[in-house]
Chains A and B, each alone.
Chain A
Amino acid sequence: MIIAEGTSAPAILSANRISKSFGEIPVLFSIDFDIRPGEVHAIIGENGAGKSTLIKILSGIEQPTSGSIGFDGQTVVLPPNGAAESMGIVLIHQEQNLAEHLTVAESIFLGRELKKFGFLDVGEMRKRARAVMETLHVRVDPDARINTLSVADKQMVEIAKAISRDARVLIMDEPTAVLSVGETDTLFEQIRRLTARGVAVIFISHKLDEIMELADRVTVLRDGQWIATVGTEALTPDSIAQMMVGRELSNLYPPKHEPDVDAPVVLGVRNLVATGVKDISFDLRKGEILGFAGLIGSGRTAVAEAIVGLSHRDSGEITLDGKPVNFTRVAQSVDAGLAYMTKDRKGKGLLLNMGLRPNLTLLTLKRHLKAGFLDTASESRALERAVRRFDIRARDATVAVGRLSGGNQQKLMLGKTMESEPDIIIMDEPTRGIDVGTKQQIYHIIAALAAEGKSIIVISSEMQEVIGLAHRVVVMREGRLAGLLEGAEITEAEIMRYAAGIKQSGHDERSV
């Protein structure tokens, strides 16, 4: 790695002992961070380590609870709502923020259109847009509509927008998550051009190899704490992974019962290909908890949705108790005893404007019919059972579900899923965004279900959760099975190696 010139220059932007709490919950603890002109500084850490919060503070979107921000050597308070862009600090979001129907030139000048005699100076904007695109060596027509561009080109438009605003600090939140290898190379080339011109780049990525290639320095965060800031030349992917993890497992998790190696395979997946899934094979045994780890977008949810018939399956074979099945509707998989619990409880799991009862029974309404009519008494009994079993706390059963806490929503959704009395349950991020106490309850419920002989797939981006619960762990990367871990192999460092693509196992040799 060639150290870009000017890395010894004074920092252009710095965070000094920054802490941040959302309400009662602290998310960042006294973080120090700085970036110099012409430097690429990567921030890495697990999901929930505080990376996004840190860059939001560095771009003024969030204000720190304590600590100060330095800009050009002076202590400043960054203006909120993206107004820091006028100071040259530009954040490029993970989800792109381009209006799909505008042209490239219109997008680049959005909100600060050039005018002549009070009318838009379209010609001048087009000319300048073209000039900016040329400095980036990007071949995109300034008159092209955004919705006709590839994801990579859109990203280039965002960068062009940033440059045309004379960005001095460019902050990128996982820019490569949606890019192919070729597109990533182009992006890196652009970033190098920018740093050569003295632009400072802050870069979040989960892909350790990319960080090794691009970054000058790396800052590691863990649980909102600053762990280390190191020059990339002193690092190996392994040592980064070590720094990112390295925590004791607490007794948050129930003891694992010994998996029965002779237990029959209840769900078999062979060479599954679907949207977002390139080729995956694995087996789930009776009474087993199978963890699914991997980066966001690695295809774990896509696998689950293809299995239960929520999305189209291109090829591959799925067997239930040895018999091939082909679900084209969710209702079929539910009837067959296979239930999927979505990770998006607000968007796909619960009807937020309705009460507890209609939500609980929505999946299994036909069990509550008497002579074709809904038997609300039977529904109420089901709700009473679920409230007791899953400890759902609500003021009363008629309160709109959207008003419940995340934990109670999650427990209600678990109750809804279990109403169908499935033998196999695929739980997607079963503890996302809920407090630790409820997490523990849900972990114990999952373990108890497995002990009863239910077979469970737990998809989780929290590695601790997968490690604490699962008997075996499938690690996915880019729509494929990157590794299958068992027993003592299940460690955060090992999962990280497979998830980030440092290690790769043949996907069929160990998939039994």
Chain B
Amino acid sequence: MSAASDISEKPKRGFRPELKTVGPLLALLLLVLLGISLNENFMSYSNLTNVLARSSFIGIIAIGATFVITAGGIDLSVGSMAAVIAGLMIMVMNWLIPTMGIGWGVVLAGMLAGILLGGVAGTFNGLMITRGRIEAFIVTLGTMGIFRSLVTFLANGGTLSLNFDVADVYRPVYYDGLLGVPYPIIVFALVAIGGEILMRRTAFGRHCAAIGSNEQVARYSSINVDNVRMLTYILQGVLVGVAVLLYVPRLGSASSTTGVLWELEAIAGVIIGGTTLKGGYGRIWGTVVGVVILGLIGNILNLQSLISPYLNGAFQGVIIILAVLLQRSKRT
């Protein structure tokens, strides 16, 4: 997919890759080499699937964020949104048990509820931003607080737990897989492929880039700017829902600490992947690489003993700043 799209953006003749494209891949390669040299278990099947499965939640959310950011917006509420959706999903499933009994019916209803709730939350953000004409940063800063507080309220300051029997039914969605590949990774891959197609091969993706590049040009080119913007936030919400329905079976609970700082990790993944924060240029494939890089940093720190794993955040921060510095030096 990415190979096909490269032709549209770069000269056809000769192989002249840009730093912006190759940079994140090189960083990923270096990290992998570093991981191999530090610990022989790094390349083990169980370690890699573990890292990727954990990265899937952030990754799926970050793909939504790529659209939002490409269209010149930002969504800070995704972490809190994930928490409140997780909480509500659990409540819905527990509430349905008396009527539906324990089984896949309840779980599917819960999944559907999660996706719908995501769509509703995204629609609310989008409406405030496009119809209410409030800055995306402010709207989503507000909903970030609202969602976080809501989940704390719903859990009464504690933890919302899924009925133990239902959790048992639901568990395989996180822990099992197809041909040895965990489901979260499969869903992440499918979302990434779908996102890449949406970004490169549909009018919607082109319109996102146009709006983020110059909203006036988009308006003068007969693009319905408000609708496209709106759709990016709805898509973001739905993808948060998808991430949550993979996350809930992992622990079977939600609390006020669920999804804390996910928004920053998602945005960081997008930026490391080469999407410009001010919009106009988005790379789904880059986002995938960016998210995996962030996941690997944490993993490598845990696998070695020289540096404290508590410095994880510091390393991620350095990578983000480096990524943006490299992008800038490329442009001038």
Contacts and interface: CB of A to CB of B under 8 A. Distances in A.
Interface of A: 310, 329-331, 334, 340, 342, 344, 347-355, 357-358, 362-363, 365-366, 369, 372-374, 376, 396, 398, 416
- Of the listed residues B203, B217, B281, the one surrounded by the most CB atoms of chain A closer than 10 A to its CB is B217
B32 interface: no
Q: Which of A310, A340, A362, A396 has the most CB of B within 10 A?
A: A362
Interface in B252-296: 280-281
Q: Residue among B207, B218, B220 with the most chain A CB within 10 A?
A: B220
8 contacts: A344-B216, A347-B216, A347-B217, A348-B220, A351-B209, A351-B214, A351-B217, A353-B213
Given A351-B210, A351-B280, A352-B214, A362 B10 contact: no
Interface string B184-220: 0000000000000100111100110110011011111
Nearest to B220: A348
Given A334-B222, A351-B217, A374 B209 contact: no
Given A363-B222, A365-B207, A374-B200, 19 more contacts: A310-B220, A330-B219, A331-B224, A347-B214, A348-B216, A348-B217, A348-B220, A351-B280, A352-B214, A353-B281, A354-B280, A358-B209, A362-B210, A362-B218, A365-B203, A372-B202, A373-B201, A398-B9, A398-B10
B8 interface: yes
Interface residues of B, number: 26
Contacts of B11: 396, 398
A380 to B, nearest CB: 9
A349 B218 CA distance: 8
**Overall SS of chain B's interface:** helix
B9 A355 contact: yes
Contact of A349 (B10, B217, B224): B217
B224 A329 contact: yes
Interface of B: 8-11, 197, 200-203, 206-207, 209-210, 213-214, 216-224, 280-281
B167 to A, nearest CB: 39
Nearest to A344: B216
Of residues B200, B221, B224, which shows the largest number of chain A Cβ atoms within 10 Å of its Cβ? Answer: B221
Contacts of B8: 357, 376
Nearest to B10: A398
Given A373-B201, A396-B11, A398-B11, A354 B209 contact: yes
A344 B219 CA distance: 13
A350 B217 contact: yes
A341 to B, nearest CB: 9
B197 A373 contact: yes
Contacts of A349: 217, 220
B213 to A, nearest CB: 5
